[in-house]
Structure 1
Amino acid sequence: MLKKILYTLLLLAIISCNQIQKATDAITQPSAREVYARGFEKDDSIYNSWNSAFAKAYQKKVLPKDQNVLSGLPYTTVGTYSSNNLIPYRYTFTLAAGEIFHAEVENNVDSTAIFLDLFTWENDSIINPTPRLSNAPNERKFTTKITASGLYTLLIQPEIGTNSSFTLKIYTTPQYGFPVSGKDNKAIQSFWGASRSGGKRSHEGVDIFAARGTPVVAITDGMVSSTGNRGLGGKQLWLRDGIFGQSLYYAHLDSIIATTGKRVKIGDTLGLVGNTGNARTTPPHLHFGIYNRTGAINPYPYIKQTEMPTILDSLSSNLGVLKNNGTMRLSPTSTSERVGTLKRRDTVLLLEKTGNWFHIRTHDSLQGYLYKTAIKPVPFT
């Protein structure tokens, strides 16, 4: 009887602890990595080695030219996880304020836990020690608005003991839509920073060319804070994004349709493309700008249209033999820095394949990229 009572009390204590933990997690929202760590003791050697490999990957302080910096996004790849390899996959790239960043991982084993951590850089040589963003438990993707332009690093690491393949997409989308109806990036013919007035000033926006009378539209829900016909912008309209948000500037309009104080939704017509103000000698176009508390900011990343990337690559082997001497590079481009030269018949581990490049690791743990024609894949081991 006493044993039964003790068992019941223990069970109630466990249930109570679980409920408290769930309540706490609902408030603190721990990352997948933090939840995973709860399953290990502090002196667990395997976990400590796994965690140490993660720490070393983001604590590595090197200049961008000395590491794998992607030439641009989107980036897609297929790769393999190996239980013998604790080192996270590391991707470094630049992001601009106005973009929405996306990272998505898919595994061929659905039950495998994957940990994604996005880090920012304080400057070209120091990475912040705390992730800006980490994935939630049971999630294999995340997305975040970018508010500061700069260098970012994404680390991807599977749970301990994983042997499987994966696919990865890293890409961006704009925070806003496109301000001229029926047009896209190709219609932009003058960009931020271009010289104006013989070099006396610079362009504080982008010019989007379209036929006179083409609708210009709201690219966010907001309120029309001002309209008028004045100054360099001619017929113009200001749209406020939220109470304390940014102001979107539409200038050189042929006519203004929305009125001051009007609340609008995404897609509502605000006016029509024209060439009023100081644009009267140019073809019709919309001058579009964005202003925040500090002044004008580059609007292009906020409206640049992007396509959802698709993964076309496949990786049928995790081991390769060089067919000829090959140059290993830091990034999957022929212009990136050389890491070293490998010899014919050298054996390498194939970590990933992205486009025409293999991401490889040599027997002495040197990593880099080799062009696909230099390698002959061999069957999985």
Structure 2
Amino acid sequence: MKRWPFYLLLIFLIPACKQIRPLLHITVRGKYESGFSKKDSLFMEWKASHERAMAAPLQIELPYIASIQIKHADASALVYIAAVKRGEQLIAEVKKPADSSRFILELFNGDPAANETLLTELPEKSSSTHWIAGDDDSVRISLQPVLNDSGIYHVKIYKQPAYQFPVAGKSNNAIQSFWGANRDGGARSHEGIDIFAARGTPVMAVADGRIGFAGEKGLGGKQVWLRENLSGFNVYYAHLDSFIVNSGDAVKRSDTLGFVGNTGNAAGGAPHLHFGIYGNGGAVDPLAFVKELPVPADQVFTIDPQAKQIRSGPLRKGPGTKYPIIIQLNKNEPLKLQARSGNWLHVTVRDSSAGFVPK
């Protein structure tokens, strides 16, 4: 058998390796940082600012609306931490000045001690991004302008349910039985929520997906199971009067799957939809997935770029008196204003200590 020289084998193998090597996703931050050298002191301080803020995020509750002041060569990072529930969708929107090139907005895992797992980021040339919580958790929200930028940015961060409400024309007040309620005299607990509506009210797909089962069996009577495409949960619709889909059908969000009824062990009771969600670990509370939340109105907070901020009193971890005190400020201590949210200012003091003070 003819033996090929080793160097000839390498000639054939190297192109093949290049073809099978997976393409790595380059983040917006990574793309921006690739244009700088570690010898650039201003860039290294920009990078260090983000690392400091990530290690000690300030606390906020959602919705959070703020105006952020940016000055030339002043690109400090602002990092907040906020709680989310499984099934909630976090939405972040940014309104940039007309002449702005880019703004780096990222969502990271909530534990500052853990690795910086990027959940999502604001794409270039986009004004919003979103992320759905797969569990009760917290998330770090990082906001940082690029170097040598200036102007005022307006940020709105809020939550919405991951799913559409499942019963047409109804909302939160139609939910009258919740997760964990006693059933069969305490022999079992309720693994879902009950949404009451008139018989024949359309029941809709809460997300795009595929029908796993549509039929009649057991306590649920006439029922539909939807495998949704957002997070891979199995969504359970029970006690239907009738259904109009078949097992294996692909459906879109808002498609009608069937109609409210009282079949199965709900026979003789008021028509309602039993709505449940099941993951790999079993049933999960579906309320946060569908509970409708108001979308906060846009707000613009005035900031005077020329105003010198001096203050005494407490520097707090969040925008309110309920948040813990970080340090006590000395009388007439100079502050660097970074953002305003309502009557609270996000400031930096003593070069690197960030927190909130009242306006």
Q: 1:338–1:139: structure 2 CA closer, same or farther, 3 Å change rule?
A: same
Work out which of the residue numbers 195, 208, 229 in structure 2 matches 1:208: 195
Q: Are the equivalent residues in 2 in contact too, given 1:322–1:343 (CA < 8 A)? A: no
- Are 1:38 and 2:31 an aligned pair? no
Distance 1:282 1:336 in 2: 48
Q: Which runs of 5+ in 1 are unaligned?
A: 1-25, 376-381
Q: Which residue of 2 aligns with 1:128?
A: 115
* One-letter amino acid of the counterpart of residue 33, structure 2: A
Q: How does 1:240-259 map to 2 (within 5 A)?
A: 240-241=227-228, 245-259=232-246
- 2:278·2:284 contact (CA, 8 Å) conserved in 1? yes
Structure 1 residues 364 and 262 mapped into 2: Cα distance closer, same or farther (>3 Å)?
A: closer
Q: CA separation in 1, counterparts of 2:124 and 2:207? A: 31
Is the partner of 1:272 in helix, strand or coil?
strand
The verdict on how the C-alpha distance between 1:191 and 1:140 changes in structure 2, with shifts beyond 3 A counting, is: same
| SS, match of residue 59 in structure 2 | coil
Q: How far did residue 110 of structure 1 move?
A: 2.5
CA separation in 2, counterparts of 1:352 and 1:200? Answer: 54
Task: Indicate conservation of the 8 Å contact 2:73/2:147, yes or no.
Answer: no
Please give the alpha-carbon distance, in whole angstroms, between the structure 1 residues aligned to 2:324 and 2:219.
46
Residues 1:152 and 2:139 aligned together: yes
Pick the aligned partner of 2:58 from 58, 61, 68: 68
Any idea what the Cα deviations from partners look like across 1:163-220, whole Å, max 9, x if unmatched?
3211112223333221100112232233334444455433322221222332212223
Structure 1 counterpart of 2:92, one-letter code: A
Given that 1:313 and 1:355 are in contact with CA atoms closer than 8 Å, whether structure 2 keeps it comes out as no
Contact 1:30 1:136 in 2 (8 A): no
Match of 1:173 in 2: 160
Q: Is the 8 A contact 1:317 1:350 kept in 2?
A: no
Note closer, same or farther for the CA distance 1:283–1:357 as it changes in structure 2 (3 Å cut).
Answer: farther
Cα 1:340–1:248 change in 2 (3 A) is same
1:17 aligns to what? none
Identify if the C-alpha distance between structure 1 residues 352 and 183 changes in structure 2 by more than 3 Å, giving closer, same or farther: same
Alignment partner for residue 119 of structure 1, among 108, 117, 130? Answer: 108
What is the rounded CA distance, in whole Å, between the counterparts of 1:76 and 1:138 in structure 2? 21
Instruction: Check 1:316–1:47 CA distance in 2 against 1; reply closer, same or farther (3 A cut).
Output: closer
Which one-letter code corresponds to 1:90 in the other structure?
V
2:51 aligns with one of 55, 60, 68? 55
Show the counterpart of 1:192.
179
What is the rounded CA distance, in whole Å, between the counterparts of 1:329 and 1:201 in structure 2?
46
2:99 paired residue number: 110
Counterpart mapping for 1:341-356 below 5 A: 348-356=335-343
Match of 1:23 in 2: none
TM-score scaled by length of structure 1: 0.75
Report SS of the residue matched to 2:44: helix
* Structure 1 equivalent of residue 17 of structure 2: none
Q: Distance in 2 between matches of 1:202 and 1:328?
A: 46
**Match of 1:69, as an amino acid?**
Q
1:294 is displaced (CA, Å) by: 2.8
1:260 to partner: Cα distance: 4.1
1:76 CA displacement: 1.4
Alignment CA distance shift 1:115-1:240 (3 Å):
closer
Please say if 1:272 is aligned against 2:272: no
Cα distance in 1 between the residues matched to 2:327 and 2:268: 56
Correspondence for 2:289 = 302
Letter in 2 for 1:126: A
Counterpart contact for 1:32–1:138, Cα < 8 Å: no
Aligned to 2:356: 369
2:13 is aligned to none
Using the size of structure 2 for normalisation, the TM-score is 0.79
Equivalent residue, structure 1, for 2:71: 82
Deviations 1:218-268 (A, max 9, x none): 2234443323444332332222336x9432211122333434454444333
- Note closer, same or farther for the CA distance 1:193–1:357 as it changes in structure 2 (3 Å cut): farther
Residue type of the partner of 2:281? T
Distance 1:335 1:285, change over 3 A: farther
How many percent of aligned residue pairs carry the same amino acid? 37
Q: Structure 1 180/320 Cα, relative in aligned 2: closer, same or farther at 3 Å?
A: farther
1:226 and 2:213 aligned: yes
CA 1:354/1:189 → structure 2, altered by over 3 Å: closer, same or farther? farther
Q: What's the Cα RMSD here? A: 3.2
| 105 and 256 in structure 1: CA distance in 2 versus 1, 3 angstrom threshold | closer
Deviation at 1:154, TM superposition (A): 1.4
Q: Partners of 1:233 and 1:369 in 2: how far apart? A: 52
CA deviation digits over 1:147-169, x for unaligned, max 9? 34412101111112333211112
The equivalent of 1:93 in structure 2 is 82
The 2-side partners of 1:189 and 1:333 are apart by 34
Kindly state the Cα deviation for residue 120 of structure 1 after the two structures are TM-superposed: 0.6
Residues 1:330 and 2:317 aligned together: yes
Deviates more, 1:348-357 or 1:362-371: 362-371
8 Å CA contact 2:107–2:119 kept in 1: the answer is yes
